[in-house]
Structure 1
Amino acid sequence: MKKATIIASIAMLFSISLNAFTLGNLGEFKFEKMNQNVYVMHGPETEPSKENEGFMNNPAVIESANGLIVIDPGGNYNVGKKILAEIEKLSSKPIIAIFNTHKHGDHWFANKNIKEKYPEVPIYALTYMIEQVKDNAAETWYGILDRLTGNLEGTKPFTFPSDGIENKQTVVVDGETFVMRHYSKGHTDTDILIEHTNSNTLFIGDNLITNRFGAFDESSSIIENIKVLEKIKNQEDGFKQYALYVPGHGQSSSEISETVDPFLKYLKIVLEGAQKAYDEGMASYEIKPEVDENLKDYHSWDAYEGQMGKHLIKAYSEVEMLDF
C-alpha cells in the first residue's frame, strides 16, 4: 500500500512538472481552465525584474473548434518560448488569432514567438495602438523592460499587431465571438476591453490590476480608469454580469467583489485625497500621510511604496486640470 502511494505521489509530481514552468522562487506557472473553453496563466504579481524574467501579465487562451486564440501572450521572446510551450500542452490545435489589449510591451512582445510558428496568424489590436507601437511606444517599453529584467534578447525586431480594430467592433474567429470596447483614456489611450460572448468572460486588461501596482503614464487617466471600472461594476454601457473577470495582472474571479472592487476602491481613495488636497490648498505630498493611512489595506501590494506617491501626484494633476 505504501509503495502504491509513493508511486502515485511521484506520478503526480511528474505530472505537475510537465504542466508548468518555474521562475526563481516565484513558483510554477501554467494555464488553468477558468471558464468553459477559457484558460488563463496568472503571471507573478510583481514588478518586472530579473527574477520574474519580465513575465507578470496574464496570458489567456480560448479554445475553439479548430484552433486556439491567444490574448496577450507575454512580454519578451525568452519567456514567450515557455508560454508557447504551455499553450501547446493544452491542445495540438494551431493558434489561429492573437489579441493585444494595449501598447505596453509586457503584454505583446511575445507575439513574435507565435508568429514565427504561425506566420499567417492575424494579430488584433486597437488601430491607434498599432500606430503608437510603430511610432515609439514599443521602443520605450523595450528600454524599460530590458533595464529592469535584462531578458529582452531576441525580442527585436518587434512583431506588431497586424489587424486594426475599433470600439464596439465584433470579431468572430472560428465561431468564437469577441466584442471590443475602447475608451479614450484609462490605463492608457490604447486599451481594448474584450468580451468573449461564448463563455461570458470579460478581459479587462490593465484597467484592472490586483495585488500589485504599475505606473500611470502620460496617456493614462486615473479619473477615466475609475469611470471604466464603475461602468463594469454597475453594468452600464453594454457591460453585464460576467461569469469570469480577467485582469491584466492578478487573479481572475467570477466575483466582481474579488476582482474589480479592490483596485476601484484604491483609485477612489487616491483621487479623494488629491481632491481634498487641492480644495484645501495643500500640495500632494502634504496629504500623502493621510492617504497612506486610508490605504493600509494595500500596503502589502507589490510596489506600493514606489507607486502610491506617483499615483497621488497624477491624480492631483488631473484634479487641477479639471479646474481650467
Structure 2
Amino acid sequence: MKKVALIASVAMVFSLSLNAWTLGKLGDFKFEKVNDNVYVMHGPVMMPNKENGGFMNNPALIESKNGLIVIDPGGNYNVGKNVLAEVEKVSKKPVIAIFNTHKHGDHWFANKNFQEKYPNVKIYALAYMIEQAKDNAAETWYGILGSLTGNLEGTKPFAFPNSSVDHKETVVVDGQTFIMRHPAAGHTDTDILIEHVNSKTLFLGDNLMKNRFGAFDESSSIFGNIQILENVIAKKDGYKDYKLYVPGHGPSGKLHETLDPFLNYMKIIIAGAQKAYKNGMESYEIKEEVYNNLKDYHKWDDIEGQMGKHLMKAYSEVEMRDF
C-alpha cells in the first residue's frame, strides 16, 4: 500500500509539473511562499509584449482559514486563466476577496476570471480608482495592452472593483487584517499601498519596481513617489517595520535591498532635472549626463525607452514647483 501511495504521489507531482504555466523561453511561473501565509508569483521583469502575453506584474495570494485573498491578479483574461490555475495549485479554498492597487489594467483586468468563478467575491480598490477606471482608465489601458500584446480576447466586459476603500481604512477578511495607505500622488493618483498586518508584509504596487521601468502618467508624481518610499523607510505616516516588501514588478525582499534601487534612481532623475532647470537647459540637453550617472540601471528593462520620459516628467515637476 505504501508503495502504491508513493507512486500515486510522484505521479501527481509529475502531472502538476507537466501542466505548469510556461511562457516560452521566459520559463515557468507559479506562486511561491514568501512569508508566513503569503505567496507571490513574480512576473517577467519586462514591458508587456507578445512574448509575455501581457503578464508582467506580481499577483499575490494570502491564505486564510476559510479562503484566499488575491492582490492584483493580472493584466487580461488569458493571463487570468493561468493565474487562477496556479492559485488552485496552492489551495482549493475559494477566493473570498481581491484587492487592486491602482487603475492600470495590467494589474486588474484578470479580476474577470475570479469573478466568473466566484460571482460574490468582493473586489476592493480606492473609491477614486473605481471612478477613474470606469471613466476612461480601463479603456485607455485596454488600448495600450491590446496594441502591445494582442492578447485581450475575453477581457471585456471589465470586472471593475465593487467595494471601495479609503486612506487608512482597515479591512478584515476571514481573520486577515489589511490597512490601506493612499498617498496624494505617487505612481498614480489612485494608488493604495496595502499592509497585511498578520504577516507584516507591505504591498507597494507600482510605487516600487525593481529591474524594470514603467511609465509615469499625467496623474503621477516623481516627487510624490520619492516621498512615499522615504516615508516607508523612515516609518512615517503609519508605516511600520515589515518582514517583506512586495513591489508591483520585480523581486520582493527586505527593506533596503528592495526599496533603495528605485528610490535612488528617482533621486538621480530629479537631481538631473533640477540641474538642467537651474542652468536654463532643456531636459534633453542633460539626458546623456544623467544616463551616465545611471550605470547601475543600464541592465534594467526598458531604460532606453523610459529614462528620457522620466527626465522630462521630472523637469516639468521641478518647473511647476518654481511657480
Q: What do the CA deviations read for 1:275-302 (whole angstroms, capped 9, x no partner)? A: 0100111111111111011101101000
Partner of 1:262: 261
Task: Give the corresponding residue for 1:200.
Answer: 200
Matches of 1:212 and 1:78, distance apart in 2 = 23
- TM superposition score normalised by structure 1: 0.95
Give the deviation of 1:18 after TM superposition: 4.9
Q: Give every structure 1 segment of 4 or more consecutive aligned residues whose post-TM-superposition deviation is greater than 3 Å.
A: 10-13
Partner residue in 1 for 2:145: 145
Summarize deviations over 1:129-160 as a string: whole Å, max 9, x none: 00000000000000000000000010000000
Task: Say which SS state the counterpart of residue 129 (structure 1) adopts.
Answer: helix
Shift in alpha-carbon separation, 1:178–1:18, aligned structure 2, 3 A: farther
Post-superposition CA distance 1:218-267 (Å, at most 9, x none) = 000101000000001111111111100000000001x2121100000000
| Corresponding residue SS for 2:239 | coil
1:323 aligns with 2:322: yes
SS at structure 1 position matched to 2:103? coil
Determine the structure 1 residue equivalent to 2:239: 239
Alignment of 1:1-324 (within 5 A): 14=14, 17-18=17-18, 20-253=20-253, 255-324=254-323
Give yes or no for contact 1:204–1:245 (8 Å, CA) kept in 2: yes
What CA distance in whole angstroms lies between the structure 1 residues aligned with 2:168 and 2:139? Answer: 29
1:209 counterpart SS class = coil
Percent identity of equivalent pairs: 74
Taking only aligned residues, the RMSD between alpha carbons, in angstroms, comes to 1.4
What amino acid does structure 1 have at the position aligned with 2:241? Q
Segments of 5+ residues of structure 1 without an aligned counterpart are: 1-6
SS state of the match for residue 25, structure 1?
helix
Partners in 2 of 1:242 and 1:11 — Cα distance?
39
- Give the aligned length: 315
Take 2:259 and 2:132, find their aligned partners in 1: how far apart are those partners?
28
The normalised TM-score by structure 2 is 0.95
The answer as to whether partners of 1:19 and 1:89 remain within 8 angstroms in 2 is: no
> Structure 2 unaligned runs (5+)?
1-6
- Report which stretch shifted further, 279-288 or 116-125: 279-288
Letter in 1 for 2:52: N
